[in-house]
Structure 1
Amino acid sequence: MEAIMLRLLQQELRSRRGAIIGWGLGLSFFPVVYLGIYPAVAEEMKSFQSLMELPIYQAMGMTMASFEGFIASTVTNIVPILLSIYAVITGVNTLAGEEENGRLELIVALPIPRWQIATVKAIATGIALFLILVIVSAASA
């Protein structure tokens, strides 16, 4: 039983390999764009200093006046949103896409309960998100 689930997990991750690499590289490129934009908007960011003195911004540790604050407040706020979009897209396509391709019947015919199939697919989505974060972290380091 566990061998079938492990094979299904391996197949899921193999089928998502392109998406993992694509999203990982795409999200890794995202901070590079902001690195290039910062010199052009550095002076305008200093005009937001009065806003940055509000307690909510101080509680979050955000400051747009410095380079580190600009990157922290833009990139680290947008990347999780983009990862959430990936998770939703992947979650929707997990079973619906396989039904469209005709592979769902083969998977459901396996001698394991359907809840285990759904669990394996959820685990594969979690591993895919983790691998994307590893790629983004490695590229940002």
Structure 2
Amino acid sequence: MWPEILRESLRDARRGWLWWAIGLVLYVLLILAFYPSIKSDPSVNEIMHKLPASLRVLFGEDLTTPAGYVGGRLFSLMPILLSVFAGLTGAALIAGEEARGHLEFPLAQPVSRRALLAGRTLALLILLLGLGFVLFLGTWAAGQVFQAPLPAARVLETAALHTLGAWVFGALALGVGAATGRAGVASAVGAGLGIGLVVLHTLSGQVAALRDLAWLNPWKEALGGSPLLHPVSVTPLLVCLLVGVAFALIAAPFFQNRDVGR
């Protein structure tokens, strides 16, 4: 029965996803459209060198090259946007449906709660991967148009790092929502932690304790590994994928045993 739940979840979420995809493409076009006007201006990098170290960690120090500009101006903010999308969507798939009274009907069907959770979890992953593909395609195509060409493989791997990083927090939100039935709490935990870890990443260059724990941050490779310049290892992608799956598995017994709608 979970394939049916998957199709239903994707169908219900398609309109909201489409608006997010359109907004993401427009944002990419807006950012990339400014690159031709600054790519030959060395004063831009001089300004970046004067910024605090925490901001240089996030935005980089070279905005005159395609990789430096796209990484510093576009992908540096993607963890925040994708965390918001993942947190809101993950919370809505079970806890949000429960709050609106829409979860009682599927639970009344001959389908287990674990199957329902599995279908909604897979739907979240597909929605995020779809948004990540839009990010990849929009960034690569706009780069060709606005004089910031980048290898398709590097853009795809960078988009994958950001997408699967957001998957961790979306799965967390879905798991918290399934375990508690509280959509507001779930979205706050998922999106809030995703954004909070971006802030911690920017501070890691100045705080030794944070630097030592940077390997625990899902955004480490996406924001600090220069994926637009260097090939991405499959390890961080696989780790993020499995961590998200683990959150759903941990939530399963709580969702199985609690009274839904109360």
Pairwise TM-score range, normalised by the shorter structure: 0.7 to 0.9
Larger Rg: 1
Aligned-partner residue type, residue 66 of structure 1 = T
Q: Cα RMSD between the aligned structures?
A: 2.9
User: Which segment drifts farther, 70-79 or 10-19?
Assistant: 70-79
Distance in 1, Cα, partners of 2:38 & 2:83: 29
The share of aligned pairs that are identical, in percent, is 23
Instruction: Kindly state the Cα deviation for residue 44 of structure 1 after the two structures are TM-superposed.
Output: 4.8
Instruction: Kindly state the Cα deviation for residue 51 of structure 1 after the two structures are TM-superposed.
Output: 5.8
Which residue, out of 12, 15, 18, partners 1:18?
A: 15
**SS of match in other structure, 1:103:** coil
After superposition, the Cα gap between the structure-2 partners of 1:20 and 1:49, relative to the gap in structure 1 and judged at 3 Å, is closer
Instruction: Name the structure 2 match of 1:96.
Output: 95
Pairs aligned (count) = 135
Instruction: Name the structure 1 match of 2:64.
Output: 66
Aligned-partner residue type, residue 6 of structure 1 = P
Deviations 1:7-54, CA, capped at 9 Å, x for gaps: 1100000111112211112111112111234426956522136469x8
After superposition, the Cα gap between the structure-2 partners of 1:102 and 1:49, relative to the gap in structure 1 and judged at 3 Å, is closer
Q: Which has the higher contact order (CA 8 A, sep 6+)?
A: 1
Unaligned runs of 5+ in 1: none
After superposition, the Cα gap between the structure-2 partners of 1:126 and 1:138, relative to the gap in structure 1 and judged at 3 Å, is same
Q: Which has the higher helix share?
A: 1
**SS of match in other structure, 1:112:** coil
Could you tell me whether the CA contact under 8 Å between 1:31 and 1:71 is conserved in 2?
A: no
Distance in 2, Cα, partners of 1:47 & 1:86: 34
Instruction: Kindly state the Cα deviation for residue 5 of structure 1 after the two structures are TM-superposed.
Output: 1.1
**SS of match in other structure, 2:77:** helix
**SS of match in other structure, 2:76:** helix
Instruction: Kindly state the Cα deviation for residue 107 of structure 1 after the two structures are TM-superposed.
Output: 1.3
Instruction: Name the structure 2 match of 1:116.
Output: 115
Could you tell me whether the CA contact under 8 Å between 2:38 and 2:44 is conserved in 1?
A: no
Aligned-partner residue type, residue 11 of structure 1 = E
Instruction: Name the structure 2 match of 1:27.
Output: 24
After superposition, the Cα gap between the structure-2 partners of 1:65 and 1:7, relative to the gap in structure 1 and judged at 3 Å, is closer
Q: Could you state the TM-score of these two structures normalised by the residue count of structure 2? A: 0.45
Q: Could you state the TM-score of these two structures normalised by the residue count of structure 1? A: 0.78
Could you tell me whether the CA contact under 8 Å between 2:9 and 2:93 is conserved in 1?
A: no
Unaligned runs of 5+ in 2: 141-262
